[in-house]
Amino acid sequence: MKILYYDCFSGISGDMNLGAMLDLGVDKAFLTGELDKLGLSGWKLDVREDQRHGITGTKVTVKLTHHEHAHRHLSDIEKIIDNSSLDSETKQLSKKIFMKVAEAEASVHGVPLDHVHFHEVGAMDSIIDTMGAAVCFNALKVDAVFVGPVELGSGFVNCSHGRLPVPAPATAEIIKGLQVKKGGTGFEATTPTGAAILATLGTHFDSLPAFSVTGTGYGVGQKEDPDVPNLLRVFLGEAEESNTGHDALLIQCNIDDMNPEFYDHICERLFTNGAADVYITATIMKKGRPGSILNIICEKGNEETLKEIIFTESTTVGVRTFPFRKDTLSRRFDQIDTIYGKVTLKRSFYKDKEVSCKPEYSECKTIAEAKGIPVKEVYNNIMASVFGR
């Protein structure tokens, strides 16, 4: 199982994350090429080697070529993403990260989501940091993301709303469910963008399994601290086969009095906020009434966020939460040459034996749409080339 481990001993920001990803080996030319697909002008990526306390890493700074005054709403951000030529997975993941920030801002300021006014996070540099996080993560093709205790920092931070305590209120909302610590630095160590990246990408927030390290990346921050190096350290590794199982949670609720059209929106919000799986089963309830059971599988630490969505969006008045062990196959993603060009092949293994192999559906769909042919034809042709039939 290919994993990422975020060691946030000095916090995390969007630019520190980009630096760590590039330091891990994501190609700068690939990253900038993907970001150019946003169709946004007025920025450039400054990437250079730098040091903190004698440790060398990669420092990334989004430099603006002209000053902008735009304060964007969530709909403005989503329009930029939807109108880009980025792949669907990157679009979806970046929207999830922005949604984390939007929901936090809405909660802090007591306004509806569509009224949330992005200031710092809506600025060009934060847009590039967030989109870059999605691009880099999908490029690494990992199976799980482990997040260690996150340093928040201390003191106060100046923003559009005035002088606020660290962590900023939006950050405090986003980090619910994460293990955190405070006071290790004298500045804002974790920003809303950094927190949203962790909360969205993270799949495990408790124990770290034994794993072999295949790469280490250091993202250099913008601060200098005499006591703690302002660095984000991210490990890339392979977990042992025996560690593919872990404890997870199943949340259930019975519903028999809700407009079924609402399920689509509720499920989308649950997935956006970290649910590993969401499914609905039919049942017969009291007095013979037909009903549904809404089932959500999630990691420990994420249940409170998901319960809030269930209680506010659905008509249920109670939920059940069950701990259980979740065992998964180890996976590997390979790029193969096909008659349609390069396609990602997903391989699954049980005790080092391959038990499943299939092309990435979203890529097959893109090819089918571009060529005007059935997606099953694309899928079958790729499978035939893989197995030589």
Over residues 3-57, the pLDDT tens digits come to 999 999 999 999 999 999 999 999 999 999 999 999 999 899 999 999 999 999 9
Radius of gyration of the CA atoms of the chain, in A? 22
Q: Are 200 and 150 members of one domain?
A: yes
Choose the final residue of a domain: 282, 308, 327: 327
Q: What pLDDT sits at residue 304? A: 87
The pLDDT of residue 386: 86
**What does the angle CA 206 – CA 265 – CA 301 come to, to the nearest 5 degrees?**
10
Tell me the mean pLDDT in the region 147-153. 95
Provide the 3-class DSSP secondary structure of residue 127: helix
* Number of C-beta neighbours around residue 298 at 10 A: 24
- Kindly state whether residues 59 and 190 are assigned to the same domain: yes
pTM (predicted TM-score): 0.70
* 373: CB partners within 8 A, 6+ apart: none
What local confidence, expressed as pLDDT, does residue 115 receive?
Answer: 76
Same domain, 69 and 114: yes
Q: How many domains does the chain have?
A: 3
- Whether residue 285 contacts residue 291, with contact meaning beta carbons closer than 8 Å, is answered with yes
Q: Position of tokens 């009224």?
A: 115
Same domain, 159 and 75: yes
Q: Is the pLDDT of residue 120 over 90?
A: no
Q: Two tokens at 321?
A: 């939460």
Q: Which residue has the higher pLDDT, 313 or 66?
A: 313
Structure tokens at 82: 């939807």
pLDDT at 317: 95
Residue 199: per-residue pLDDT: 92
Over range 320-348, report the average pLDDT: 89
Residue whose entry in the numeric block shows the structure tokens 């520190």: 16
Q: Lowest-confidence range among 15-19, 239-243, 271-275, 321-325?
A: 239-243
pLDDT above 70: residue 151: yes
Q: Does residue 388 have a pLDDT over 80?
A: no
b/e 62-96 (16+ beta carbons within 10 angstroms → b): beeeeeeeeebbbeebbebbeebebbebbbbbbbb
- State which of 284, 306, 327 marks the end of a domain: 327
Domain limit, last residue, from 214, 242, 270: 242
- 265 with 140, same domain? no
| Same structural domain, 144 and 228 | yes
Per-residue buried b or exposed e for 164-202, using 16+ beta carbons within 10 Å of the residue's own CB: bebbbbbbbbbbbbbebeeebbebbbbbbbbbbbbbbbb
Tell me what the pLDDT averaged over the chain comes to.
Answer: 90
pLDDT computed for residue 243 by the predictor: 45
Same domain, 250 and 220: no
> Is the pLDDT score of 244 beyond 70?
no
Phi, psi of 260 (to 5 degrees): -60, -15
Residue 126 has pLDDT above 80, yes or no: yes
Using the structure block, give the residue that is written with the tokens 């065992």: 327
- Nearest to 327, CA basis, from 354, 307, 297: 297
Strands 231-239 and 211-220: antiparallel
Mark whether 167 and 28 lie in a shared domain: yes
Residue by residue, what is the 3-state secondary structure of 28-57?
A: HHHHHHHHHCCCCCCEEEEEEEEEECCEEE
Which amino acid makes up residue 380? N
